[in-house]
Structure 1
Amino acid sequence: MRSIRARLILILMGSTGLVWLLAVGWIYLSTQAEVERVLDARLMEAARMVNSLLSDHRIEVGLKEGTASHVVGEFEHSHRPYERQLSCQIWTLEGSLVGRSENAPTTQLSEVVDGFSETDVEGERWRVFTVENERLGVRVMVGDSLKIRESLVSDVITGLVVPALLILPFLAGVILVSVRRGLSPLSDMADTLSQRAANDLRPLQAGNLPKEIAPAVSALNGLFKRVEDARDRERSFTAFAAHELKTPLAGVKTQAQIALASDDPALHANALRQITAGVDRTSRLVKQLLDITALEANDAAPNLQAVRAQVLLKQSVAELPLPSGGARLVVEGGDGEDALILAEPHFLSLALRNLIENALNHSPENSMVVCRVEEAGRDVRLVVEDEGPGIPEAEISTVVEKFVRGRNRSATGSGLGLAIAQAAMARIGGALGLENRSGGGLRAVLTVRAVEAGA
């Protein structure tokens, strides 16, 4: 059942009906026990009273067979339905009936000589109390029909059930109204949201809300905030991407116009070189844009697997185009050359390539970019060091953001390399660290978890 309102109504009505049934059952059993106790006490009192009257000779009975007399008084007919079945018999110890109340059966009510008993008399079940008087030689038996007792209990239960049945429709109406009013804040919130425009991400008003609904409203407001932030990032990303693409494309167009308009071979050749550089920069920017978009759009869990760090480093270097500047790229064999790491090879290789390209773009001529693998306890570090200008300390925490290039920017950079490396490491649970080297240049470190021995 998908309706919370219908579910609440059914639960409340079902639980209310169950409580009524349990209450009726409990009242029935307790009333039956109480009626048995009270009527048994009445039987006992009546039998002892008759026995006392006999002992005091205030009632005379014939003690010979065939001389049975009527015992009058409390046992005469009454207009009260629950007193009509109380019957009394007086029997001799030899088994002769010497007295009985009016309309009492002539068959002996009980074979028990003393105390309570139940017996069938003339097809009817009776509850009997017997008192034996040895001095007079008689037994006094007083009984009533169990049918009357059951009727009494039935009347009590009927008096409870009938009002309950009459009250239940009213109670159901109260439950319906209560549930409707209780869920009205949800309906109001739904109406508010349905009337909003698609771009309206203002937070919902959280004042005076029931505490059960407040967490949902808070979660919705948090979602609105995250969606708004994502839209702002997308707008910024689009704007920066358009700007970054516009600049090299404009330069390519300008150099092409120069090449077409000039007859100077040297100027013509220089324009072609500038066009080639502009195309390379644009191509690298488009590739980085595709990489960062794929990283942010992919919500699937990374496929972590055990790989050898040194092998992955060499493969990443081999996939790079030959350096166009004067820097040399060197892969050293560090102390972690044989280390196994747990990572997603594609993401880790993506981070490595961007770090190496970034180092090559910022390195001066005749310098060296060094890559190696180091062990650090339970972690493994993939290190890329260059001899470039480094990053000002105040900018280290911000250069990992998209399109942030810093003061020591290169002519071919776009401000996406470090952002891609940061996003890729976040996807595989690793970390990117940046620090300036004491002798000049930048040290970039990718830290990943090593595969434990025996795992």
Structure 2
Amino acid sequence: MSYSLRGTLIRSLLKVVTPLWLVACALLAFHAWHEVNELYEEQQTLFARQLYGTLPTLGARNEPQLPQVGDSDHQAVAAWNRGGQLLLVDSDGLQLDARPGYTGFASLRQHDEDWRVYYLSGEAGSVAVAQEMSERWEMIGGLLLTQGLLWLLLLPFALLALWWAVGRGLAPLAHIRDQLQQRAPDDATPLPREVPSELHTLIDAMNDLIERMAQTLQRERRFTADAAHELRSPLAAMRVQAEVAQLVQDPLQRERALQQLMSGVDRSSHLLAQLLALSRVEAEQQQHEALDWPLLLQELGEAVPGLAASHHVTLRLPPAGHTQWPLQHGDRTLLLLMLRNLLDNAIRYGGGTVSLEADATRICVSDEGEGVAEALLDKVRERFYRPPGQQQTGSGLGLSIVERIAALHGLQLSLHNRNGGGLQAVLTRGHGG
């Protein structure tokens, strides 16, 4: 399901900002109500004091009629002498009662209208100043209306600014998209990190994926090239032997050709198995698990003795209950392959007695053969390398596989010629083990 990042951000912004705006309006209304009441009541108090100062003048008049002050909308005033006689009135339809001796605010409701009245009393009499509450509500409503209009006017501009900012922030992704569309599958060049910091983890993950994909393609190409190169000669030899077996009439020659053909099939099968093993090892598809060394030794004891017997080699493995090994976790399948290759090399190219020994710090495989020339100890590790004059069949991949599996498990491979004759392959814990 696809969705728009811009749309999601705008919807999220509205969901967050709208409640905040409503809360802000409520707080503004509460504060405005307090301030407006304080302002108007202060005005009422001031007006009442001024009106109270006119009571001696009003009380000195002898006119029988009540003086009238021009009506003022939403306001009313009244004045009484100390005897309670009404001296002045501007009622605006409001009937104000005298409250001799009372000073303070009071609330009234007449004609479906709410009024706020301030009484001021003294020796000269008392006055009352009233104001309709709707006047205050109108002021508060005006403030809220201004706030709402400001929000409605600014919101579209804020959303447009957000839309533009998101588009600008995502613009580097378009450049990265163009790069990905134009690059070759095996190009491991990392993508640039000139993107918003929130996208750095995504770019890093993509760079890691690009590198792994390029390495996988390189491994596949190398495997294809190696297989084509190394299988070409055995296949050609097998074809020759097949033609010989088909053409010769002598049963002994035919039998010899068929044996050579079977030997070529075995060599090709072994080479292909080694290539596949190397491909898997290079892909680092190991699984780390607790190792059951007695079980691994049992499997090793079932796989190797046949080869040792065919080469008239004495094989010595640790006892079944031996538990002293430098590794307690790793990939059992890969480690079994590593030990089989070491023993296979020792049996094929060494001879005499082949021993596998192990303790908490190292694994050692040794033989009693002729060893390897000192100048060639490093070259025998290379792929497909076979020492000059080597008569035994092989692929030249065994030690490459051993070294790669060892590296995956934090082990280092070293080769040494023994003083008494033969080669010794030692695996020890490296710094990463």
Q: Same fold (TM over 0.5)?
A: yes
Q: Percent identity?
A: 27
**Comparing 109-118 with 354-363, which one deviates more in the overlay?**
109-118
Q: What pairs up with 1:297-376 in 2 under 5 angstroms?
A: 299=285, 301-302=287-288, 304-307=289-292, 309-320=293-304, 321-323=306-308, 324-333=310-319, 337-339=322-324, 341-364=328-351, 367-376=352-361
1:383 to 364, 369, 390: 364
2:162 to 153, 160, 175: 175
- Code of the aligned partner of 1:250: A
2:272 to 279, 282, 286: 286
1:205 to 1:278, Cα distance in 2 relative to 1, 3 A:
closer
Partner Cα distance (2:387, 2:86) in 1: 128
- Code of the aligned partner of 1:442: Q
SS in structure 1 at match of 2:78: strand
Cα deviation, 1:72-100, whole Å, max 9, x if unaligned, reads 3xxx335xxxxx22222234567664432
1:108 match? 97
State the Cα distance separating 1:331 from its structure 2 match: 1.8
1:69 to 52, 66, 71: 66
Partner Cα distance (1:53, 1:394) in 2: 125
2:58 match? 59
Partner Cα distance (1:238, 1:156) in 2: 79
Does the 8 A contact of 1:248 with 1:282 survive in 2? yes
1:40 match? 41
- Code of the aligned partner of 1:235: R
Cα deviation, 1:336-359, whole Å, max 9, x if unaligned, reads 824584455433322221221122
Is the helix fraction higher in 1 or 2? 2
1:88 match? 77
**Comparing 184-193 with 202-211, which one deviates more in the overlay?**
202-211
1:81 match? none
SS in structure 2 at match of 1:183: helix
Residue 445, structure 1, aligned to residue 395, structure 2:
no
1:387 to 1:143, Cα distance in 2 relative to 1, 3 A:
farther
State the Cα distance separating 1:322 from its structure 2 match: 2.7
Does the 8 A contact of 2:223 with 2:275 survive in 1? no
Partner Cα distance (1:387, 1:229) in 2: 40
**Comparing 438-447 with 203-212, which one deviates more in the overlay?**
203-212
Partner Cα distance (2:28, 2:375) in 1: 83
State the Cα distance separating 1:369 from its structure 2 match: 0.9
1:9 match? 10
Partner Cα distance (1:313, 1:29) in 2: 83
Does the 8 A contact of 1:125 with 1:145 survive in 2? yes
TM-score, length of structure 2 as denominator length: 0.79
SS in structure 1 at match of 2:360: strand
What do you get for the CA RMSD once the two structures are aligned?
4.0
- Code of the aligned partner of 2:39: V
1:62 to 1:117, Cα distance in 2 relative to 1, 3 A:
farther
Provide the aligned length of Structure 1 versus Structure 2: 421
**Comparing 430-439 with 140-149, which one deviates more in the overlay?**
430-439
SS in structure 2 at match of 1:108: coil
Q: What pairs up with 1:207-246 in 2 under 5 angstroms?
A: 210-213=196-199, 216-217=202-203, 219-246=205-232
TM-score, length of structure 1 as denominator length: 0.76
Cα deviation, 1:260-298, whole Å, max 9, x if unaligned, reads 666788876765554443232222122223434455668
Partner Cα distance (2:83, 2:391) in 1: 132
Does the 8 A contact of 2:413 with 2:427 survive in 1? yes
1:436 to 411, 416, 420: 416
SS in structure 1 at match of 2:225: helix
Cα deviation, 1:357-401, whole Å, max 9, x if unaligned, reads 12212214xx2210133234xxxx5432223424858865982x6
Q: What pairs up with 1:185-204 in 2 under 5 angstroms?
A: 185-190=172-177, 193=180, 195-196=181-182, 199=185, 201=187, 203=189
Q: What pairs up with 1:412-423 in 2 under 5 angstroms?
A: 412-423=393-404
- Code of the aligned partner of 2:302: A
SS in structure 1 at match of 2:106: strand
1:425 to 1:61, Cα distance in 2 relative to 1, 3 A:
farther
1:86 to 1:61, Cα distance in 2 relative to 1, 3 A:
farther
State the Cα distance separating 1:218 from its structure 2 match: 5.5
1:150 to 118, 124, 137: 137
Partner Cα distance (1:98, 1:142) in 2: 14
Runs (5+) with no aligned partner, structure 2: none
Partner Cα distance (2:428, 2:386) in 1: 21
Does the 8 A contact of 1:62 with 1:68 survive in 2? no
